[in-house]
């Protein structure tokens, strides 16, 4: 029996927010892939927001949603950046 407490040398299987999951077609339209981890999805959404200049110029904590973002953010015209995590949760499919 091996009692060595050193970690395994192989790559770890992603779990939790790091595990890729299938996403809704609405989310796929923003992130560009059918399966993505939650952390990567947040990075892609922020890149999309910056690329399309959707941050409110007077309040950088607010995002002005275009049509694609409205599809994943419950039809809202604008959201606070802290709302993103909660609003994308339904778009990760089991």
pTM: 0.80
**Mean pLDDT score of the chain:** 90
- Asked if residue 1 has pLDDT above 60, the reply is no
**pLDDT tens digits, residue range 46-86?**
999 999 999 999 999 999 999 999 999 999 999 999 999 99
pLDDT band, residue 17 (cuts 50/70/90): confident
pLDDT band, residue 15 (cuts 50/70/90): confident
CATH of 20-91, picked from 2.120.10.30, 1.10.245.10, 3.30.70.270, 1.10.3720.10, is 1.10.245.10
Tell me, letter by letter, the H, E, C secondary structure of 39-70.
HHHHHHHHHHHHHCCCECCCCCCEEECCHHHH
Q: How many distinct helices (H) and strands (E) make up the chain?
A: 4, 4
- Cα–Cα–Cα angle for 72, 36, 17, rounded to 5 degrees: 90
Cβ distance 89 to 74 under 8 Å?
Answer: no
Cβ distance 81 to 63 under 8 Å?
Answer: yes
Going from N- to C-terminal start, the domains of the chain cover 20-91
């Amino acid at each position: 029996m091996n009692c060595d407490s050193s970690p395994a040398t192989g790559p770890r299987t992603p779990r939790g927010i790091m595990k890729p999951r299938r996403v809704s077609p609405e989310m796929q339209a923003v992130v560009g892939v059918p399966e993505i981890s939650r952390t990567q999805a947040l990075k892609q959404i922020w890149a999309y927001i910056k690329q399309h200049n959707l941050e409110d110029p007077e309040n950088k904590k607010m995002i002005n949603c275009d049509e694609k973002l409205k599809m994943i953010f419950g039809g809202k015209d604008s959201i606070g950046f802290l709302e993103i995590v909660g609003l994308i949760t339904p778009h990760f499919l089991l």
